[in-house]
Amino acid sequence: MAKSKTAEKLDASTEEKIKEAARTVFHKKGFAATRTRDIAEEAGINLALLNYYFRSKARLFEIIMLETISVFVQAMALALNDEKTTLGEKVERVVTSYIDLIEKEPDLPIFMLSEIRNNPDLLLVKLPIKQAIMGSVFFRQHHEAVTQGKITEPSPIQFLMNLIGLIMFPFIASPMLKRIGDLKEEDFNRLMQERKRLIPVWIEAMMKAS
């Protein structure tokens, strides 16, 4: 007998509730330190119900990991493939979108760092990361700028490493930086907002350095 619409809505609602709880716990603890019981408690359901919807912790983790990385990659792909923006404007867009995203989800950088190191092949198979970046408008514009002598650093990978590093590292090192600078959470967030203006300036200077 087919499920009623009410039952289908309840199923979808419960699945999403479990996924949201799993996202919260996995982002904080990672795969190894997370128990399925932790996720069930975060979701406010019993363990049997969690197991009914998601047969294993590994399967649930793969779903959450791919969704998390996908959001991150899609934001970059949209920025890098905009035909109407310059290289500088692309940098500003990436900086702004990622700083805003990570301020909302502060555990995201550590989670991504861990899983990119542990599962690079899985990510490359499941997500079109390489195509989205290596075949982007950004790479074409970078090559043109190098050819025209506007940029002295010939490697677009160096460009991206500098950009992502300047965005991500302060969040990854935030516990230490807050102690070194006697910074409260609002002080740190203000510094990160200032970096929306500063990072594009630094990137431009680095790419023109000989």
What is the domain range of residue 18? Answer: 1-55
The answer on 50 and 75 residing in a single domain is no
Query: Packing angle between helix 57-80 and helix 5-33, nearest 10 degrees?
Result: 90
Residue/partner pairs of 71-76 with CB below 8 Å, 24 or more apart: 71/101, 72/98, 72/101, 72/108, 72/112, 73/127, 73/129, 73/132, 75/101, 76/132, 76/133
- Give me the sign of the Cα torsion angle 105, 173, 170, 157: negative
Query: How many domains, the chain?
Result: 2
pLDDT at 147: 93
pTM, to two decimals: 0.77
pLDDT at 3: 53
CATH number for the domain harbouring residue 96? 1.10.357
The answer on 84 and 102 residing in a single domain is yes
Q: What averages of pLDDT result for each successive group of 10 residues across the chain (210 residues)?
A: 48 87 90 91 92 88 84 84 93 93 86 77 70 84 91 86 92 94 95 96 83
C-alpha 88/C-alpha 142 separation (Å) is 10
The answer on 78 and 48 residing in a single domain is no
